[in-house]
Amino acid sequence: MTTYILDTMETRTTRILNLAKSAIILAVAALAFPVHAVDAKPNAGLWLTTDFPAMAVRAGETTTIKIKLQNTDLAPQRVMLTVSGVPQGWKATVLGGGVPVAAAMPATNESVALQLRVEVPANAQKGSQRVVLSAKGNDATAELPLDVIIGQSLPARLSIKSKLPSQRGSASTNFEYPITVLNESDKDALVKLAAQAPQGFQTSFTEGFGSQEISSIPIEAGQSKELKVKVQPSSGTAAGDYPLMVSASVEGAQSVTQMSIQITGAPKLRITTEDGRLSGEAEAGKATPLNIIIENTGAAPATAVTLSSSPPGDWKIEIEPNQIPVLAPGQKLPVQAIITPSGKAIAGDYMATLRANSGSESASAEFRLSVTTSTLWGMAGILVIIVALLLSVGAVARFGRR
Amino acid sequence: MARRSGSPWKGSDIVFAKEFSDHLRSPRMLVLQWLILLTGIGAVFMSIQGLRTTTASDPFLFLRLFTDARESMPSFLSVLAFLIPLMAIGLGFDSINGEFNRRTMSRILAQPIYRDALLIGKFAGGLATLAIALVSLWLLIIGLGLYRLGVPPSGEEVARGFVFLFVALTYGGVWLSVAMLCSVVCRSPATSAMAALGAWLLLSLLWPLMGRFIAEIVYPANEVALLLGLPNPQQIGLQQTLARLSPATLFGEAVVGILQPATRTFGVVFASQVRGAVAGAPLSFMQSLLLIWPQVTGLVAGMIFVFSASYMSFQRQEVRA
């Protein structure tokens, strides 16, 4: 208010409104400490402003600086925009509305939003570089020096922590290894995950409490993610220790951790035949040998294998031998089962179950046996017909040719 | 009585040809043929209708044409079991006494034809007529099945079909020989027809009931079995044995055994025999044949026995002009 009174006292002929306005702006400008005001008049001119005139940029990256071009009390005019002081190899472009511009036209007491895009080459030297953006209008000019500081950025770094790096189980166990992947760099990263297990092992990654299988996961700078590595060994895996290599990688960094899978073998028995056919034929009341094969497809030897059978009623099935002391992994042992169907068995198909037991491991196979009956009674039937024919022949001989 | 020389079969071919042509031309044959054809085709048509709507897969689909029964229509088999004896009796009940009544017997025997040849020729003629009727019916059914079902029968089905045809022909032969025996024994054709039809009704309908009564008398049900609600196996065994004296039972068992391959036995089955058995598994063709072999031989032997009886009876008769 005091300024207003002072001004009116000094210049009485000028319009009160205009004066008051410029006085307020002058006061604001004086308070805000403008970086540059190359105008002769303190209360009018072009202004280039930015929030952060000095900023850090990583070598090889592109940064965009927001800039405002303000026209204060000047007639709208064409303002040429130039960038000077750009070091060799750098690239600086003034953008307006998203496209490169070379000039701007701010209206009176209006501002134009601009952007300066600075592309820093990867081989830029450390230190501060000053880039000057200048605006040149008809009546006024403005300059904005910008300091671009090339700093040493943190390199990409990952780390994997495993809580249970060594686990033990049988070949049919589903192993789950919980791991923590930490992004130790200052950038968000999309981390690729990979696991290397012995041939035949199935590996997959899931989130700590998720079920979806993932192959990569985004991790924010400085953050960690809980993951799980699932491993399914192949069914015939022999007992022993197997390595599991889990790696997490981003561009420029990789972290590998080694874990181990300890597989304890178990025997697995199987009953089959030479050609895999589980069927046979047997005549009622007659012993018929059936060649079967006992096989250990597991990873540990089977001891004290007992062979037994559950035959249909009144049948006899003898297995020779019915005790096997040791059956090594992968070993096949031919065994003979002598099947004697009941003498009263009716012709047709029957099911007989053969079993092999070794401790907790057992295997069974159902054999389909076709029983045929003796043709002896068929012969007797023919005999009956022959007797009947003989009778008629005898009748012809006795009474014939009358 | 001087023995005559020459083959007893001499002239039987002439008698056969004459008898065969007479049968095929006779209105009686025509009536019987149409009767058997219409009822048979009707039964098969109904079973085809049923088979077309039920789409369960069956390796022996064609055989079900013969055995499937629809509501209000008996199966083709039961129609045949009823009509084959009727046709055979119709063909044979007046074969010998008809000649006497027409006073042609002495004229035939005046020709160089022995009585042996006359009887054999007449029997063969009747059997051939039956065979013609059955084969044409069988072919009609196969053709109808091919046309309506659209699937060809497998080799095993055809083989089983042939066995069925043979069994049906043998069954007809049994009743033909029974009818001829009656025609030899009875001088009046009406009496002969009555006797043959009576024997048929007795053996087909009454005999199974009588067999049960006899079995119950011979092996009274014991108290334990009554308490458990179980039948006495001996009683059932005897009942079955008696029932098998009837050719109708033999025919029924034989055709069921051959046309339903899952049939394993006809007799009494103990639980220990069934344990471990695969239900519904079809028997092989040879095993099915072995299963029905006693029935088939029974029918064949019965046919020969009855024919021999009529032969002996005829040879001992006096033939006068």
pLDDT at A19 over 70: no
**List of chain B residues whose C-beta atoms are within 8 Å of the C-beta of residue A399:** 311-312, 315-316
Where residue A41 falls among pLDDT bands split at 50, 70, 90?
low
pLDDT tens, A158-209?
888 888 888 888 877 888 999 999 888 777 788 999 998 888 889 999 988 8
CB distance A312–B278 less than 8 Å?
A: no
Domain contains B7: no
The pLDDT score that the predictor gives to residue B170 is: 95
What pLDDT score was predicted for residue B200? 93
Average pLDDT over residues B83-105: 89
How far apart are alpha carbons A94 and B133 in whole angstroms? 109
Contacts A–B by Cβ distance under 8 A: 116
- Mean per-residue pLDDT over chain B, rounded: 85
- Interface contact flag, B116 A396, Cβ < 8 Å: yes
Q: For position B302, what pLDDT does the model report? A: 92
In chain B, residues with a C-beta closer than 8 Å to the C-beta of A347 are: 264-265, 283, 287, 290-291
pLDDT in tens, A277-295: 888 888 888 888 888 888 8
Residue B273 to chain A, least CA–CA distance (Å): 6
- CB nearest to B264's CB, from A347, A389, A399: A347
Put simply, the answer to whether A389 touches B304 (Cβ < 8 Å) is: yes
Query: B272–A399: do the CB atoms touch at under 8 Å?
Result: no
| A51 and A144 part of one domain | yes
Evaluate whether A104 touches A69 at the Cβ level (below 8 Å): yes
Q: Is residue A381 part of a domain?
A: no
- Bridge partners, residue A141, by sequence: A136
Per-residue pLDDT at B55: 60
Same-domain check for residues A26 and A48:
no
The alpha carbon of residue B11 is apart from the nearest alpha carbon of chain A, in Å, by 12
Query: How far, in Å, CA of A145 to CA of A66, rounded?
Result: 13
Q: With 50 as the cut, is the pLDDT of residue A320 above it?
A: yes
In a domain, A277, yes or no: yes
Q: Which of A279, A351, A402 to mutate to test the interface with B (most CBs of B within 10 A)?
A: A402
Taking only residues 76 to 115 of chain B, the set having a beta carbon closer than 8 angstroms to any beta carbon of chain A reads 114-115
* pLDDT for A8 beyond 90: no
Task: Identify the domain containing residue A17 by its residue range.
Answer: 1-33
Whether residue A315 and residue B276 make contact (CB cut-off 8 A), yes or no, is yes
More confident residue, A4 or B136: B136
Is B123 part of any domain?
yes
Task: Please indicate, yes or no, if residue B1 is contained in any of the structural domains.
Answer: no
> How far is it between the farthest Cα atoms of chain A?
176
- Rounded to a whole number, what is the distance in Å from the CA of A391 to chain B's nearest CA? 7
Same domain? A73 vs A89: yes
pLDDT at B163: 94
Q: Answer yes or no: is A247 within a domain.
A: yes
Distance CA A313, CA A319 (A): 17
Please tell me if residue B21 touches chain A, with a CB cutoff of 8 Å: no
Three-state DSSP class for B73?
strand
- Cβ neighbors of B318 (< 8 A, separation 6 or more) are none
Residue type, A159: S
Examine the pLDDT at A154 and tell me if it is beyond 70.
no
CA gap A349, A155 in Å, rounded: 76
| A280 and A368, same domain (yes or no) | yes
Q: Which pLDDT belongs to residue A43?
A: 66
pTM over the 0.90 mark: no
B307 Cα to chain A: minimum distance (Å):
8
Q: Which residue has the tokens 């960038």?
A: A83
Structural contact between residues B96 and B314, judged by C-beta atoms closer than 8 angstroms: yes
Quick one: average pLDDT of A331-356?
86
pLDDT of A123 over the 70 cut? yes
CA separation for the pair B85, B91 (Å, rounded): 10
Select the highest-mean-pLDDT range: B14-23, B63-72, B141-150, B278-287: B14-23
SS3 B276: coil
- Nearest chain B residue to A398 by CA: give it: B312
A256 and A177 fall within a common domain: yes
A367 forms beta bridges with: A352
With a cut of 50, say whether residue A10 has pLDDT above it: no
Query: Residue A200, Cβ neighbours under 10 Å: how many?
Result: 11
DSSP, res B172: H
Question: β-strands A288-296, A54-58: how paired?
Answer: unpaired
Domain count for chain A: 4
For residue B273, give Cα distances in angstroms to A334, A346, B157, B264, B281. 30, 7, 28, 11, 15
Q: Does A141 share its domain with A166?
A: no
* Residue-level pLDDT at A401: 62
Would you state the pLDDT for residue B300? 93
Say what the pLDDT of residue B35 is: 86
Residues of A in contact with B110 (CB under 8 A): none
Quickly tell me which residue has 């023995």 as its tokens. Answer: B3
Per-residue confidence (pLDDT) for residue B191, from 0 to 100: 93
Query: Is B1 buried (19+), middle (13-18) or exposed (0-12) by CB count in 10 A?
Result: exposed
Do A139 and A58 fall within a single domain? yes
Residue A115 falls inside a structural domain: yes
**Residues in chain B closer than 8 A to A313 (CB atoms):** 271-276
Q: Please state the three-class secondary structure of chain A as a single string.
A: CHHHHHHHHHCCCCCHHHHHHHHHHHHHHHHHCCCCCCCCCCCCEEEEECCCCEEEEECCCEEEEEEEEEEECCCCCCEEEEEECCCCCCEEEEEECCEECCEECCCCCCEEEEEEEEECCCCCCCEEEEEEEEEECCCCEEEEEEEEEEECCCCCCEEEEECCCEEEECCCCCEEEEEEEEECCCCCEEEEEEEECCCCCEEEEEECCCCCEECEEEECCCCEEEEEEEEECCCCCCCEEEEEEEEEEECCEEEEEEEEEEECCCCCEEEECCCCCCEEEEECCCCEEEEEEEEECCCCCEEEEEEEEECCCCCEEEEECCEEEEECCCCEEEEEEEEECCCCCCCEEEEEEEEEEECCEEEEEEEEEEEECCCHHHHHHHHHHHHHHHHHHHHHHHHCCC
A205: which strand partners?
A214, A229
Q: Which of A133, A151, A169 is the last residue of a domain?
A: A151
Rounded mean pLDDT, A121-137: 85
- pLDDT of A39 reads 47
> For residue A7, what pLDDT band results from cuts at 50, 70 and 90?
very low
* Average pLDDT value for residue range A382-399: 85
Model confidence at B1, pLDDT cuts 50, 70, 90, reads very low
Can you give the pLDDT at residue A328? Answer: 86
pLDDT score for B169:
95
Q: Among A238-242, B55-59, B206-210, which range has the highest average pLDDT? A: B206-210
pLDDT score, position A32 = 42
Residues B85, B130: Cα–Cα separation, whole Å: 10
As to burial, measured by CB atoms within 10 angstroms (0-12 exposed, 13-18 middle, 19+ buried), residue A65 is: buried
In whole numbers, what is the pLDDT of chain A averaged over residues? 81
Residue A396 within any structural domain of the chain: no
Does some domain include residue B320? no
Q: How many CB atoms lie within 10 A of CB A280?
A: 18
Q: Is B3 on the interface with A (CB under 8 A)?
A: yes
**Chain B residues whose beta carbon lies within 8 Å of the beta carbon of residue A278:** none
Q: Is B281 on the interface with A (CB under 8 A)?
A: yes
Q: What percent of chain B has pLDDT over 90?
A: 27
Contact B277 A389 (CB under 8 A): no
- A100 strand-pairing partners: A95
Does residue B123 sit at the A interface (CB-CB below 8 Å)? no
Domain limits at B302?
A: 12-315
- Round to whole Å and give the CA distance between B206 and B249: 12
pLDDT class for A152, splitting at 50, 70, 90? low
Closest CB to A351: pick one of B278, B294, B312. Answer: B278
Domain containing A136 — which CATH number? 2.60.40.10
- The answer to whether residues A249 and A286 belong to one domain is no
Q: Are residues A258 and A174 in the same domain?
A: yes
Per residue in A86-97, pLDDT tens? 888 888 889 988
Mean pLDDT confidence for B244-261: 90
Say what the pLDDT of residue B251 is: 93
Neighbouring C-alpha atoms within 13 Å toward the C-beta of B297: 19
* N-term to C-term CA, chain B: 19
In this prediction, residues B3-32 reach a mean pLDDT of 83
Q: Is residue A383 part of a domain?
A: no
Number of domains in chain B: 1
Q: Residue B190 in 3-state DSSP?
A: helix
Residue A314 lies in a domain: yes
Q: For residue B116, what pLDDT is reported?
A: 84
Kindly state whether residue A322 falls inside one of the protein's structural domains: yes
Question: What is the Cα–Cα distance from B127 to A400, expressed in whole angstroms?
Answer: 22
Per-residue pLDDT of B114-131, as tens digits, reads 888 888 899 999 999 999
Task: Measure the CA–CA gap between A322 and A335, rounded to whole angstroms.
Answer: 8
Q: How confident is the model at residue A402 (pLDDT cuts 50, 70, 90)?
A: low
Whether A212 and A238 map to the same domain: the answer is: yes
pLDDT greater than 80 at residue B175 = yes
Residues A12 and A48 in one domain: no
Indicate whether A145 and A175 sit together in one domain: no
Which of B115, B290, B307 is closest, CB to CB, to A392? B307
Residue A14 in this model has a pLDDT that exceeds 80: no
Closest chain B residue by Cα to residue A372: B287
Q: pLDDT by residue (tens digit) across B27-44?
A: 988 888 888 888 888 888
